[in-house]
Amino acid sequence: MTTTEKTTVRRKSGALWVIVARGVLLSLLVWACGTGLLAGVMTAGVIGEESAFPILLGLTAFAAFLGAVSVVRHTPWGSLMSAAFVAACFTTLLLCMGLLSWRQIAWGGHGGQLLAWSTAGGIAAGILGRRRPKKRRRTW
């Protein structure tokens, strides 16, 4: 191997964590903006409290889906594995934020549902987001 090939390999392996971090941060940004918008709409009285939690569940799944889809085509793993990994990282961040805020999470109640929906959003991204087909050489 020449020195240029070694640096190329290092860049690809070093950039993998950046790609995953970008997907997790995209999920977190979408979730935070959506939660802020939901809080503003609830404060204005447009949406009642009884319908806010289902919207939050959908928002959480959508945020995990977007972050995972943005990563699927850029990782060397399979689409399901990379999307599930990003969703697991996003779910872990939500879990840490919940534990830091409330010091406990009601697993049977809303906390467990929120974590399950974020995981389901990532798995849906892995199933629906496929890798690019490999380019085949034309032989004439």
Residue with tokens 């890798």: 131
Identify whether the C-beta of residue 94 lies closer than 8 Å to the C-beta of residue 114.
yes
Nearest CA among 80, 39, 75 for reference residue 56: 39
Q: What's this model's pTM, rounded to 2 decimal places?
A: 0.77
Longest dimension (CA), the chain: 67
pLDDT of residue 132: 57
The token pair that represents 123 in the structure block: 């798995």
Distant-in-sequence, close-in-space partners of 98: CB < 8 Å, separation ≥ 6: 105, 111, 114
Q: pLDDT by residue for the chain (140 residues), tens digit each?
A: 555 544 443 434 447 888 899 999 999 999 999 999 999 999 998 998 889 999 999 999 999 999 999 888 888 888 888 899 999 999 999 888 888 887 666 666 777 888 889 999 988 998 887 655 666 777 76
